[in-house]
């Protein structure tokens, strides 16, 4: 384990725990941690993960702004749209995984291109949902973490793999917490419709 991998994991863990707690400081810690992870994953030949970390840095800047300002200058609330709105995201995620996995397989020396691609594509979806403060971000993070743990372990990134196992537990706790927060702040008609 390199000092850079250790630093990346400490910052990413701080960011993920802060996200679960609905804390805006998730974004700046994520920016620094993702920058460090980009270098770690490049050295491990996990190129889709490098692209993902670069995306996370940019998305974190936008997410930081959205959480503070929302659409109308007020902080963005946690929301829980119907599950049916996720069907296109899942379909695009599967197609994106296949397409990008084929590109990595054909044109790079990427290790496990399809698993690497699934981490990339479904993390993009989860991050976009997180930026919008959607409860459904957490099931996507559960999926990503389930794939990432064995992938990173297979490349000798044992600390990263162990922390992603911890992130899996964090995602379950966060899902429940965000669901409660969304329900507590939902207008009465929305709560009645959801039941």
> 92-114: per-residue pLDDT in tens?
999 999 999 999 999 988 889 99
Q: Which residues pair with 27 in a beta bridge?
A: none
**Predicted TM-score of the model (pTM):** 0.81
> 135-158: per-residue pLDDT in tens?
999 999 999 999 999 999 998 989
Given a cut of 60, whether residue 4 has pLDDT beyond it is yes
Determine the pLDDT at residue 160: 86
Looking at residue 86, the DSSP 8-state letter turns out to be G
Determine the pLDDT at residue 187: 66
Determine the pLDDT at residue 1: 75
**In a 3-state reduction of DSSP, which class is residue 134?**
strand
> 24-80: per-residue pLDDT in tens?
999 999 999 999 999 998 998 888 789 889 999 999 999 998 888 876 767 788 888
Distance of CA 159 to the CA centre of its chain: 18
Domain ranges of the chain: 3-194
> 165-182: per-residue pLDDT in tens?
999 999 999 999 999 988
Distance of CA 155 to the CA centre of its chain: 20
Contacts of 25 (CB under 8 A, 6+ apart): 18
């Amino acid at each position: 384990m390199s000092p850079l991998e250790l630093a990346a994991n400490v910052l990413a863990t701080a960011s993920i725990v802060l996200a679960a707690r609905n804390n805006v400081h998730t974004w700046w810690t994520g920016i620094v941690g993702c920058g460090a992870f980009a270098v770690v994953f490049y050295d491990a030949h996990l190129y889709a993960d490098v692209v993902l970390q670069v995306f996370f840095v940019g998305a974190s800047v936008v997410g930081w702004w959205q959480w503070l300002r929302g659409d109308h200058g007020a902080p963005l609330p946690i929301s829980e749209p119907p599950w049916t709105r996720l069907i296109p995201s899942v379909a695009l995620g599967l197609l994106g995984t296949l397409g990008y996995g084929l590109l990595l397989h054909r044109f790079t020396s990427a290790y496990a291109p399809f698993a690497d691609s699934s981490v990339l594509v479904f993390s993009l979806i989860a991050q976009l949902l997180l930026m919008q403060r959607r409860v459904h971000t957490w099931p996507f993070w559960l999926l990503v973490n389930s794939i990432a743990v064995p992938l990173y372990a297979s490349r000798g990134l044992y600390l990263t793999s162990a922390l992603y196992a911890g992130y899996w537990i964090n995602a379950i706790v966060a899902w429940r917490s965000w669901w409660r927060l969304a329900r507590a702040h939902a207008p009465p008609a929305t709560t009645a419709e959801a039941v």
